[in-house]
């Protein structure tokens, strides 16, 4: 997977939230084979300085850190957070989120496009979390986004790929990478995303909230690999009716 | 002054660097916004906090 000129062997990007412990998170990251993990940017906890640091559990030689602008509801807040994230992480990459609705966490696409333009002009490599609207995807590409990250279903819902048709349309319409971000619940969801032509998948809850997160992490690694192979192999056509796999001649007992 | 949204008393002329040290923050793992301006790490020692300043000190935490 190549994003903004940088090559990744893994097509899976993984979050760092919701894990029962940092060491479990670390084991999951290793099991996925990922090379990029997302983090949130938040105020330092001044009252509890004894807390372990997330960064102690992320080997930056192996995993690139992608700061997000989660919980930002305006373009201004997202831009401000992105700038802080850049300073903290010393990297220009940002997963841009501008949320439009508290219940669904769907993006405010108008503000998202505006924030993308602002950040691209400041030299950021912008990966916007967006919806499955082709028109918005094209606007984000035109705004200079390095990739487009349409949701499969609401963040943390585990509902899978709710609108594969739209994601296929996005894939056809844009030339930058398409990374399905949000809504994946289990391995087959990730495979479906890859089969329809996604360049990568980003997930967090699907792994962190599995009963056995490390096992699910491994499942996701295989799911993304298998989905990509299937996509590259070129699937058979769908048919309305049956098409026999065994020959129709020489059937025992047949009479003309 | 306000630090991460909370009022705080500081001796006048405290540098951002000393404030971070007092808070037990590793300067290499945080970003600082001083009156809405991002402060570069190289500026921490010379940036002196005064009355009415608003500081945001952020770091990376788990997220999706």
CATH superfamily of B2-58: Beta-grasp domain (3.10.20.30)
Residue owning tokens 């994003």 = A3
Main-chain dihedrals φ then ψ at residue A68, nearest 5 degrees: -110, 170
Q: What is the pLDDT of residue A256?
A: 77
The answer to whether residue B11 scores a pLDDT higher than 80 is: yes
- Segment B46-50 shows an average pLDDT of 93
- Report the residue from A15, A44, A70 with minimal CB separation from B59: A44
Q: What is the pLDDT of residue A135?
A: 98
Stated pTM of the model = 0.95
- Report the residue from A39, A46, A85 with minimal CB separation from B62: A39
Which residues of A are less than 8 Å from B36 in CB distance?
Answer: 80
Which residues of B are less than 8 Å from A63 in CB distance?
Answer: none
Cα-Cα-Cα-Cα torsion A77, A82, A87, A93, nearest 10 degrees, comes to 180
pLDDT tens digits, A184-195: 999 999 999 999
Q: What is the band of A103 on the pLDDT scale with cuts at 50, 70, 90?
A: very high
Q: What is the pLDDT of residue A52?
A: 76
Two tokens, residue A89: 């992480």
**Domain boundaries in chain A?**
8-44+52-232
Are β-strands B2-3 and B6-7 bridged in parallel, bridged antiparallel, or unpaired? antiparallel
Within its chain, how far is the Cα of A68 from the centroid? 12
Identify which of A168, A167, A197, A201 has the alpha carbon closest to the alpha carbon of residue A184.
A201
How many percent of chain B have pLDDT more than 90? 88
Identify which of A94, A201, A93 has the alpha carbon closest to the alpha carbon of residue A150.
A201
B57 touches chain A (CB under 8 A): yes
- Segment A159-182 shows an average pLDDT of 98
Q: b vs e for A100-133, b when ≥16 Cβ sit within 10 Å of the residue's Cβ? A: eeeeebbbbbebbbbbbbbbbeeebbbbbbbbbb
Nearest residue of B to residue A87, measured between CA atoms = B31
Q: What is the pLDDT of residue A60?
A: 95
How many percent of chain A have pLDDT more than 70? 99
- Segment B39-53 shows an average pLDDT of 93
Q: What is the pLDDT of residue A50?
A: 66
A26 touches chain B (CB under 8 A): no
Q: How far does B32 lie from chain A, in Å, by closest CA? A: 7
Cβ–Cβ below 8 Å for B29 and A53: yes
Average pLDDT over all residues of chain B? 93
Average pLDDT over all residues of chain A? 96
Which residues of B are less than 8 Å from A15 in CB distance?
Answer: 62-64
CATH number among 3.20.20.70, 2.40.10.120, 3.90.1150.10, 3.30.70.260, domain A8-44+52-232: 3.20.20.70
- Segment A54-73 shows an average pLDDT of 96
Q: How far does B4 lie from chain A, in Å, by closest CA? A: 6
CB A184 within 8 A of CB A154: no
Q: How far apart are CA A185 and CA A96, in angstroms?
A: 22
Higher-pLDDT residue of A50, A67: A67
Q: How far apart are CA A218 and CA A159, in angstroms?
A: 20
**Domain boundaries in chain B?**
2-58
């Amino acid at each position: 997977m190549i994003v903004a000129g940088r090559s990744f062997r893994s097509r899976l990007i993984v979050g760092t939230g919701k894990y029962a412990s940092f060491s479990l998170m670390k084991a999951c990251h290793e099991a996925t084979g990922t090379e990029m993990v997302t983090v949130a940017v938040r105020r330092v906890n001044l009252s509890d300085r004894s807390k372990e640091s997330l960064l102690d559990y992320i080997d930056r030689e192996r995993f690139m850190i992608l700061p997000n602008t989660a919980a930002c509801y305006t373009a201004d807040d997202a831009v401000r957070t992105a700038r802080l994230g850049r300073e903290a992480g010393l990297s220009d990459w940002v997963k841009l989120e501008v949320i439009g609705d508290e219940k669904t966490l769907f993006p405010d696409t108008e503000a998202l496009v505006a924030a993308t333009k602002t950040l691209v002009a400041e030299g950021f490599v912008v990966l916007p979390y967006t919806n499955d609207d082709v028109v918005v995807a094209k606007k984000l590409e035109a705004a200079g986004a390095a990739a487009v990250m349409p949701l499969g279903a609401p963040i943390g819902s585990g509902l899978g790929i709710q609108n594969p048709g739209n994601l296929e349309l996005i894939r056809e319409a844009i030339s930058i990478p398409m990374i399905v971000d949000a809504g994946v619940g289990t391995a087959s969801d990730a495979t479906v995303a890859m089969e329809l032509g996604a360049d990568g998948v980003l997930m967090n809850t699907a792994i962190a909230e599995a009963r056995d997160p490390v096992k699910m992490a491994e499942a996701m690694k295989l799911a993304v690999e298998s989905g990509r192979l299937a996509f590259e192999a070129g699937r058979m056509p769908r048919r309305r009716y049956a098409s026999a796999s065994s020959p129709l001649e020489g059937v025992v007992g047949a009479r003309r | 002054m306000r630090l991460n949204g909370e009022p705080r008393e500081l001796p006048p002329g405290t540098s951002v660097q000393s404030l971070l040290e007092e808070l037990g923050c590793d300067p290499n793992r945080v970003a600082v916004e001083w009156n809405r301006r991002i402060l570069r790490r190289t500026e921490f020692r010379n940036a002196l906090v005064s009355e009415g300043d608003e500081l945001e000190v952020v770091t990376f935490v788990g997220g999706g």
